[in-house]
Amino acid sequence: MNITRRGFLQGAIGLAGAGMTTALAVPALKTLLPPPVTRCNEDDAHETLTYKSESGKWYENMGGNIAKKEDFNLWDVAIVNWAPKDLEQELGTCEIQLALAKVPAEPTMNGLGISVDDGNAYIMAYHTYKCPHLCCKPVFTAEGTSTISGKDYENMFLCPCHLSLFDPVSVIANVDEKGREVMAAELLEGPAPYGLPVVPIAEKDGGLIGLTTEIEWLKYCGQG
């Protein structure tokens, strides 16, 4: 078989092209693969609710400490970290933040929070990690005026992205987008599909812990 100079060059160019195609295909293939799974360190897991370090807050010198019911006055709100072992399997993350608040008591809070002040108030935890609407982080607002209704309000959770307003005192049964019943701070206005879920808490060894008994309530916005 005779190989001409022209045939040799054509073959060489074809092999080079195939090599380049393969080389380009490898990075492209990698982009189709799922990202590496981040495994949580079990040694870092904690059911306790620990204060987040935040300057300018009433709890700024308590970062990392376990929250206690005695720390709170009425309408004190603190952001706490929560990292139970079940969190990675159930929600796909190692740690989330909750808003812990001391609020006036209502009967629906029984079994969800810690009763204090002879039953006149409760310590409650709210899932401010993600709004049920488009996953922004609601913040506690002591007072303000709604840009939706024009009404003044006090002591509410406000989603800063789309202005959904949640009442932490009115904890009611909601139905989420998957048909599950969820206990949540009532949605007063705004585009959120339902209220801001609460996280049941308990007291253990003098400190506050989060319970995973109702972890299903938190399965939205890509969690779980």
Domain membership of residue 130 (yes or no) is yes
Long-range pairs for 155-158: beta carbons < 8 A, 24 or more residues apart? 155/75, 155/103, 156/188, 157/99, 157/126, 157/128, 157/185, 157/196
Domain membership of residue 53 (yes or no) is yes
What does the DSSP assignment read for the chain? ----HHHHHHHHHHHHHHHHHHHHHHHHHHHHSPPPPPPP-GGG-EEEEEE---TTSTTGGGTTSBP-GGGPPTT-EEEEEEE-THHHHHHS-S-EEEEEEEEE--GGGTTTSEEETTTTEEEEEE-TTS-TTTS---EEEEEEE-TTT--EEEEEEE-TTT--EEEEEEEEEEE-TTS-EEEEEEEEESS-SS-EEB--EEEETTEEEE--TTGGGG--TT--
What global pTM score does this model have?
0.82
The number of domains in the chain is: 1
Domain membership of residue 31 (yes or no) is no
Domain membership of residue 26 (yes or no) is no
CA 129 – CA 112 distance, rounded (Å): 18
Domain membership of residue 84 (yes or no) is yes
For residue 47, the domain's CATH number is 2.102.10.10
Domain membership of residue 70 (yes or no) is yes
One digit per residue, the tens of pLDDT, for the chain of length 224 reads: 554 545 544 554 454 454 444 444 444 444 444 444 457 888 999 999 999 999 999 999 999 999 999 999 999 999 999 999 989 999 999 999 999 999 999 999 999 999 999 999 999 999 999 999 999 999 999 999 999 999 999 999 999 999 999 999 999 999 999 999 999 999 999 999 999 999 999 999 999 999 999 999 999 988 76
Domain membership of residue 191 (yes or no) is yes
Domain membership of residue 211 (yes or no) is yes
**Residue 112 in contact with residue 200, Cβ under 8 Å?**
yes
Give the domain range for residue 133: 42-218
